[in-house]
Chain A
């Protein structure tokens, strides 16, 4: 039974039988993995607060050749986001990140940029105590790193290039943005400001777009568009997305 040691981010836990937990985690070295934490429900001794959502941990686990689930041997807490998630808005934001990771990341494939993205965004939410700027950055880079971010400067229907300052349109079934002429009935507006935000966020660091003064309405169309792209890709609806949208 080979033992592995890796940095990881806890994505989700489920109760298993009376005393155990199934833990879904995103490991730096081996991507998304699921394992069993024996006795984690009954005894706090071995796992404590380390298995809470989005905890950054150092894990030791053993692989059993015949089973899909690994066995967690120990879990050292490197950084916890427990305090941040006492805020309900932040807790929905964290759940959203965890859900997107679970749905988007293939099992067993390391993805270091994505790993760093999750930590960066979680820390930004902790530091700024607000979610909209960090989540916009997360959506954008998650879609880009997963490889299905369309061009945001041309119409995906007719190929015409958008003028600077020109608004665009989107709808769930499209793989990109559409122009005024192609939009048809019932599509959503995509503002020129949001295209500018996306451009800046893709070209530089998270800090390049200052988090101050971000309300929910800023780049809301960009997040909705990216959320639709994610849902189209995973072929299901995200549970946490409507809860984010319902926040005041």
Chain B
């Protein structure tokens, strides 16, 4: 990296730590900030500070929210017999976009990932267990919608072992053929998962 004045180097270094930002992008953003008017920069710093100060996690489901319980948990029109477990808050938006699911959510904030040092203690499951224990657990279906990769699968198996003793029904979203895919070009794991998850039509 070329020699920058200390504050500039520090800004570039901080930006580089953001996901998806490499050295070049970090330099570009830093120069943009340097050229921008004081007012614009203040707006940006206020927005950054605001997000940290006003956004928190929902006590019930761990979704990021301004108020707890969050908008989903506070919505009485949702189906209380369905609870969908996902890795991140952004997954809620992906599921909501389908318009098909009307149950509640629980956000783990990660998946079991030994290479990142994330074990069962790091997953946010304590309030999930509490929530299920406090209600009529035997009537609830917990849908595990962690990602269809090794971390997501290991997490799903771990959760089913944790939750089944509470009397809930635990299901896993179907893994398998992507819509618009092509059987001939699909690998054997994906096809065997699709076979496992087949259903009568």
Contacts and interface: CB of A to CB of B under 8 A. Distances in A.
Interface in B99-133: 112, 114-117, 119-120
Nearest to B19: A15
A80 interface: yes
A240 interface: yes
A87 B150 CA distance: 10
Contacts of B112: 88, 91
B115 A44 contact: no
A52 B116 CA distance: 15
Contacts of A239: 114-117
Contact of A44 (B153, B157, B188, B190): B190
Interface residues of A, number: 31
B174 to A, nearest CB: 14
B114 A44 contact: no
Contacts of B158: 88
Given A44-B181, A48-B186, A99 B115 contact: yes
A125 interface: no
B154 A86 contact: yes
Nearest to A84: B150
A45 interface: yes
Interface size, B (range): 20 to 34
B187 interface: yes
B114 A92 contact: yes
A85 interface: yes
Interface centre among A12, A49, A76, by most chain B C-beta atoms within 10 angstroms, is A49
B127 to A, nearest CB: 21
A98 interface: yes
Given A52-B149, A53-B150, A246 B119 contact: yes
A188 interface: no
Interface in A172-229: none
A45 B177 CA distance: 10
A77 B189 contact: yes
Given A44-B181, A86-B154, A243 B119 contact: yes
Contacts of B153: 82, 85-86
A76 to B, nearest CB: 8
Nearest to B20: A17
B191 to A, nearest CB: 9
A45 B152 CA distance: 20
A18 interface: yes
A88 B154 contact: yes
B117 A49 contact: no
B178 interface: yes
A98 B154 contact: no
A48 B19 CA distance: 24
A91 B114 contact: yes
B185 interface: yes
B117 A243 contact: yes
B119 A80 contact: no
Contacts of B181: 44-45
Interface in A84-122: 85-88, 91-92, 94-96, 98-99
A72 interface: no
A45 B157 contact: no
B17 to A, nearest CB: 15
Nearest to B157: A86
Contacts of B151: 91
Interface of B: 19-20, 112, 114-117, 119-120, 149-151, 153-154, 156-158, 178, 181-182, 185-190
11 contacts: A15-B19, A15-B20, A44-B181, A49-B189, A80-B189, A82-B150, A86-B156, A88-B120, A239-B117, A243-B114, A243-B119
Given A48-B190, A77-B187, A83-B189, 20 more contacts: A15-B19, A17-B20, A18-B20, A45-B178, A45-B185, A76-B187, A77-B189, A80-B187, A80-B189, A86-B154, A86-B157, A88-B112, A88-B158, A91-B112, A92-B114, A94-B150, A99-B115, A240-B115, A243-B117, A246-B119
